[in-house]
Copies of this chain bind each other. A is one copy, B any other.
Amino acid sequence: MSDPLRLGIAGLGTVGAGVVKIVRQKANLLATRTGRPVEIVAVSARNRDKDRGVSLSAYEWVDDPVALARRDDIDVLVELMGGSDGPAKAATEAALASGKDVVTANKAMLAHHGQKLATLAEENGAALRFEAAVAGGIPVIKALTEGLAGNEVTRVMGVMNGTCNYILTRMESAGLSYREAFEEADDLGYLEADPELDVGGIDAGHKLALLASIAFGTEVAFSGVDLEGIGKVSIDDIRQAADMGYKIKLLGVARMTGRGLEQRMAPCLVPQTSPLGQLDGGTNMVVIEGDMVGQIVLRGAGAGEGPTASAVMGDVMDIARGLRIPTFGKPASALTKAQPATVATPAPYYLRMRLLDKPGALAKVATALGEAGISINRMRQYDHSSDSAPVLIVTHKTTRDALDRALGAMSRTGVLASDPVALRIEQV
């Protein structure tokens, strides 16, 4: 049996405490599977006195995470503090600069500083691993970086924010308004301190940027993610999408196109019968499409103590076993700077609008679409009692540009009772 792998754990929230529990309770399993003991040497967190449900007395307490990261008696810094900058980044940099490996669950830090940190890791012969940062317990970083490494990835997609999926699922199943479902999620403690991180798509966007980097061999480019939250999705949209055979999901999609790297995180329609359409509640799903493998779907818990700690331990055990691969699957210097795609790949769109009850109203809308070169796949006008009629249109494939021209022309006809809703239908 080789020398022990010595961990320093910075951040003792739910996940950090979970990791401590596993290392204590599963010493035999970890040693047999990796060929060496895995030990905790020292820990760090903001509040020393908090009860975390696990004894920390066997470990040295270090107030300053940067000092923890620099200790000579640790091999791996496990960074579970969170936050894109501040102590998390400082400790990560300190560890990597001193040649220590880092395992982190910090999607925000990597989305903003991934290229810099990966370069620092490689310069110092250190590993930087982040399975827990994307889709919780699902081993998707490993699948993409290793298992599917022989593929050219053609598209990667994911429902990666359980809170948003919970809200959308509850709107549908319980007929709640967005506001009601949001408040229910808040009461259950599902929302981040800044809810915009969840419902604005930022958290899921961070994750998408990390997946896209590995998938396409490009530098992490969170600023290139086209972000749209779920706040504008109404119960009407959910019901009427269902009526056409679709579900609405906050879906991240990344693909490399002739016009650059496309990264979108936005509410989309997906077929009810697809694996993504069947994903209810807080569960996460990532779909990877490769030129050889076709479509691979991975599904599991996206958050929580156990799943996240499972992912952290997977990375720790890889390090214990001596696995050494570049952070984003290629050496940082070999990652290219991707141009953000200026135009999204054409897709069918779902349009919902209310038309004033005037003769020729529908004709004007149809004409606006036709003149923009957009053909209609399906159209439904619903029964109405007020002075405006709900109309639903599913277009054939079109560009977002053409659609925006058509929407502009429609609004100038004076037959719209309100701004139309336009949602992309992602073909999965």
Q: Could you list which residues of chain A lie within 8 angstroms of chain B, going by C-beta atoms?
A: 18, 22, 26, 29-30, 32-35, 131, 137-139, 142-143, 146-152, 217, 273, 275, 278, 290-301, 304, 306-307, 309-311, 313-314, 316-318, 321-325, 329-331, 334
Contact = CB atoms under 8 A, between A and B. Distances in A.
Given A139-B143, A142-B147, A146-B318, A35 B294 contact: no
Given A142-B143, A148-B314, A294-B306, 13 more contacts: A29-B150, A34-B149, A35-B331, A139-B148, A142-B146, A147-B311, A149-B317, A151-B310, A275-B299, A278-B278, A292-B313, A297-B299, A321-B325
Contacts of A273: 278
A138 B296 contact: yes
12 contacts: A32-B331, A137-B292, A139-B147, A139-B296, A142-B142, A293-B310, A294-B300, A294-B304, A295-B300, A297-B299, A321-B325, A322-B324
Contacts of A309: 150, 292
A150 B30 contact: yes
A428 to B, nearest CB: 12
A138 B278 CA distance: 20
B33 A314 contact: no
Contacts of A310: 148, 150-151, 290, 292-293
Contacts of A306: 291-294
Contacts of A330: 32-33
Q: Which of A131, A147, A301 has the most CB of B within 10 A?
A: A147
Q: Which of A290, A292, A294 has the most CB of B within 10 A?
A: A292
Contact of A275 (B275, B295, B304, B325): B275
Copies of this protein, total: 2
Contacts of A298: 296-299
Given A142-B142, A149-B317, A292 B275 contact: no
Nearest to A301: B294
A275 B283 CA distance: 12
Contacts of A34: 149
A327 to B, nearest CB: 13
Contacts of A278: 273, 275, 278
Contacts of A296: 137-139, 298-300
Contacts of A18: 292
A301 B290 CA distance: 11
Contacts of A325: 321
A321 B322 CA distance: 11
Contacts of A311: 147, 293
B314 A146 contact: yes
List the 8 closest pairs (A to B, CB-CB), nearest first: A139-B147, A150-B313, A137-B293, A293-B310, A292-B306, A297-B299, A292-B310, A296-B300
B334 A22 contact: no
Contacts of A313: 149-150, 292
Contacts of A307: 292-294
Contacts of A324: 321-322
A147 B329 contact: no
A283 to B, nearest CB: 9
A170 B294 CA distance: 22
Given A293-B137, A297-B300, A324-B321, A22 B331 contact: no
A32 B34 CA distance: 27
A260 to B, nearest CB: 20
A139 to B, nearest CB: 3
Nearest to A323: B323
A329 B293 CA distance: 24
Contacts of A318: 146
Contact of A293 (B29, B300, B322): B300
A305 to B, nearest CB: 8
Nearest to A38: B150
Contacts of A290: 310
